[in-house]
Amino acid sequence: MTPEDRESTSVATLDPGPDKVIGPGHDFGTVTDEISGVVLRPFLKTPKQMFIGFACAFLLVNLLLVAVTWLFVRGVGIWGIVIPIAWGFAIVNFVWWIGIGHAGTLISAILLLLKQDWRTSINRFSEAMTLFAVACAGMFPILHLGRPWLAYWLIPYPNTMWLWPQPRSPLIWDVFAVSTYATVSLIFWFTGLIPDLATMRDKAGNPIAQRIFGLLAMGWRGSAKHWARYQKAYLLLAGLSTPLVVSVHSVVSFDFSVSIVPGWHTTIFPPYFVAGAIYSGFAMVLTLAIPVRRWYHLEDLITMRHIECMAKVMLGTGLIVAYGYAMEAFMAWYSGEQYERYAFYNRMWAGGYWWTYWLLILCNILIPQLLWSRRVRLNILSVFLISLVVNVGMWLERFVIVVTSLTRDFVPSSWGMYYPTVWDWATYAGTIGLFLSLMFLFIRGLPAISIFEIREVVHQEETVHAHGD
């Protein structure tokens, strides 16, 4: 770093308000310094909230390790799952986590294709969120297998038993969908990082950090020829990820809707699951971005415009989800089918879980309506609280779908109730800890905002000013 650099970093971090995607007074150098400064600052200069947050999250990771070890020793019987409710928390959490991941791909791919300028400050961050959420999601079906060490049987490979997976089953589609999604999310995220890793390499003072960043940047030098191919590849990735993200949650919904269980067997499931996934994902991006923006003083890069746009997407997808709930109930009534009708009667009034349904309506439909008000959207605390409420609501939605439907199926003699045990909660809380730990490490170790794309935003702003005034 030259002395010149240090001077130029002194741009005040001001939130430019809900109309701008970037604070005033920034140039290529200052945005680079501000974002890379988060990573390159000395270890002890890390905001103390990060230490406290990571310590709490890491405690939960240890809880996860204990819970999983005990699971491997004793088997799935330590959970509350019984027949007929064989899916329980494992599948609730699987669907919840993978749904959260979807906002990341939506922000990085779909909003890129739609040329939304407000995606730039939050895309890297949300892609990382996708990656870690999918990691948490992917664990659950495997832990739920009973014999998790045989998970590789899900993959078609030549074996001495001459057995093959059943490709007509949505559960096998899920294996392909989720593993493709995890791989594509990883390479999309890493491709976006390459130019920024080169920046980190060139800016890092510490020789070890320089080596690591240099190795990961693979010799990127910003050549115009490289950028040309890079942009094509990035655009193609975005174009391919867009249908992929829709397909993944559709396939997840097929796990339910292809079966004949009342309350699952519904054609509206794929679009309603995809909308729900985006809804919960945006809620999670807000839940994470709001504190980080404050701790690291990034208000000039993640502005109120970003927060407001995300709040609007949350409101919009929330309404699609509300339509889904209404249609589910309407079709149950309109079908005239007694099992379908009973499933809804049970969901709303009769069964032991009626309160989860109304809590879900409160969290997912009623409270988010506050976002119609611009004052609420521009109040950072209220947006944060609503995002937490939506996270809870979307988890409850999956609980209602998975558990309530299974408790009462066709034959009353096979009815039952599901009560989560302490190990169910420990595993769930443990994955939240894992997710947050990975997020904390990511924010500390890699540029959490895409630097080169912010430079493009700076350039655009400059061009607009030059021609507009």
The binding site for other proteins (CB under 8 A) comprises 5, 27-29, 32, 156, 162-168, 170, 172-173, 176-177, 180, 183-184, 187-188, 190-191, 195, 198-199, 201-203, 218-233, 236-237, 240-241, 243-244, 247, 251, 254, 452-453, 455-456, 459
Quote the Cα angle for 82-83-88, to 5°. Answer: 50
Closest CA to 58 of 432, 458, 393, 449: 432
Residues in CB range of 278: below 8 A, 6 or more apart: 102, 103, 106, 313, 317
Nearer to other proteins, 171 or 362 (CB): 171
CB of 136 to other proteins, least distance (A): 21
Nearer to other proteins, 36 or 391 (CB): 36
User: Which burial class, exposed, middle or buried, applies to 265 when counting CB atoms under 10 A from its CB (0-12, 13-18, 19+)?
Assistant: middle
Nearer to other proteins, 374 or 459 (CB): 459
CB of 8 to other proteins, least distance (A): 8
User: Which burial class, exposed, middle or buried, applies to 212 when counting CB atoms under 10 A from its CB (0-12, 13-18, 19+)?
Assistant: middle
d(Cα 36, Cα 71) in Å, to the nearest integer?
41
CB of 5 to other proteins, least distance (A): 8
User: Which burial class, exposed, middle or buried, applies to 412 when counting CB atoms under 10 A from its CB (0-12, 13-18, 19+)?
Assistant: exposed
User: Which burial class, exposed, middle or buried, applies to 371 when counting CB atoms under 10 A from its CB (0-12, 13-18, 19+)?
Assistant: buried
CB of 141 to other proteins, least distance (A): 16
CB of 137 to other proteins, least distance (A): 16
Residues in CB range of 284: below 8 A, 6 or more apart: 100, 103, 129, 133, 387, 391
d(Cα 191, Cα 231) in Å, to the nearest integer?
10
Work out the number of other CB atoms within 10 angstroms of the CB of residue 218: 9
Nearer to other proteins, 149 or 157 (CB): 157
Nearer to other proteins, 53 or 195 (CB): 195
Nearer to other proteins, 165 or 316 (CB): 165
d(Cα 22, Cα 32) in Å, to the nearest integer?
13
d(Cα 90, Cα 98) in Å, to the nearest integer?
12
Nearer to other proteins, 14 or 240 (CB): 240
Chain centroid offset of residue 78 CA: 28
Nearer to other proteins, 27 or 337 (CB): 27
Nearer to other proteins, 166 or 413 (CB): 166
CB of 209 to other proteins, least distance (A): 14
Closest CA to 416 of 82, 76, 80, 77: 82
CB of 150 to other proteins, least distance (A): 18
CB of 89 to other proteins, least distance (A): 26
CB of 91 to other proteins, least distance (A): 18
d(Cα 251, Cα 167) in Å, to the nearest integer?
13
